[in-house]
Amino acid sequence: MNADTPTDALPDSTPQPALGLADHHGLPALRIRAGDGAQATVLLHGAQLVSWIPAGGSEQLFVSPLARHAAGQALRGGVPVIFPQFEQRGPLPRHGFARNRAWQAVQRSQLPGHAMAVLRLTDDEATRAIWPQAFVCELTVGIGGQRLDVELAVTHAGPEGAEPLRFTAALHTYLRIGELRQVRLEGLRGSRYEDSARGGRKDVEVETELRIEEEVDRIYLGAGRQTLLLREPGRRLGISADGFADVVVWNPGAEKAAALPDLGPDAWRQMLCVEAAQIGQPVELAAGEEWVGRQSLVAG
């Protein structure tokens, strides 16, 4: 499901220099740093978070060493923003278009124990050509201490009486890990899931600890309200969400990873995607209404 190659890009608008943009592998980016040392980097390209280092800690996000840093291309790693369509569940390009578009830097702030950045995407001629909807998306990245908050807000920007805005969305979070076979993911027991790696088979999670040694591609429906815990030797990471109903757990496994030109044959062992998502029940907004979803990570 998530093992896609970087295709189906829309023409990009030119990002405007603002808020002291930095260069990240040739792409404009916002770098934020809290007074306690926590830091993060978010690209204008796709509003994609590509680095999060908690105060006194180490990198928590995975970015493929073969990732393609180019305008209009999907970038393998970090936190791609999936909007307005998850995967191929609709007529739009896979995972929608937000991750391939240039967003506008709106705000950056730094306080002693907190820093944040806000980026915005609105409809334009290119998006309306394939999805005739008026919208405003804002992504807010907040860091401080051991915590990261990534919030996606979507507003129906059409006139009163316009057709409802209907979409699915996800924060496609790639977590950096030491060795996949040593990772345990807790908190999903009892959740219903669709197993996309096995033809969409529906089942219920019976394991207290999810252990992953091969391809996994599951949508845990309704699990977004549960607090998850990722454990591996020397590390614990709390994962929670608000507003997102579902959780996606994905790793391509050895065979599919070898076929991905922007991942490499062995990198799959150093990553696990645990995604806050809204898939099973699409969001529907009347004109002027707003939806907000957030994923929070706490390192320990």
Q: What does the pLDDT read at residue 111?
A: 85
Q: What does the pLDDT read at residue 265?
A: 77
Q: What does the pLDDT read at residue 71?
A: 87
What number does CATH give the domain 22-299?
Answer: 2.70.98.10
* Digit-coded pLDDT (tens) for 159-207: 999 999 999 999 999 999 999 999 999 999 999 999 999 999 999 999 9
How confident is the model over 55-82, as a mean pLDDT? Answer: 95
Break the chain into its structural domains and give their ranges: 22-299
Q: How confident is the model at residue 73 (pLDDT cuts 50, 70, 90)?
A: confident
Q: How confident is the model at residue 11 (pLDDT cuts 50, 70, 90)?
A: very low
Mean pLDDT estimate for the chain: 93
Q: What does the pLDDT read at residue 288?
A: 98
Straight-line distance from the first to the last Cα atom of the chain, in angstroms, rounded to the nearest whole number: 31
Q: Which of 69-78, 131-140, 227-236 has the lowest mean pLDDT?
A: 69-78
Residue 14 clears pLDDT 60, i.e. is over it = no
Q: What does the pLDDT read at residue 67?
A: 94
Q: How confident is the model at residue 17 (pLDDT cuts 50, 70, 90)?
A: very low
Q: How confident is the model at residue 232 (pLDDT cuts 50, 70, 90)?
A: very high
How confident is the model over 131-138, as a mean pLDDT? Answer: 98
The residues facing 81 across adjacent strands are 171
Q: What does the pLDDT read at residue 112?
A: 86
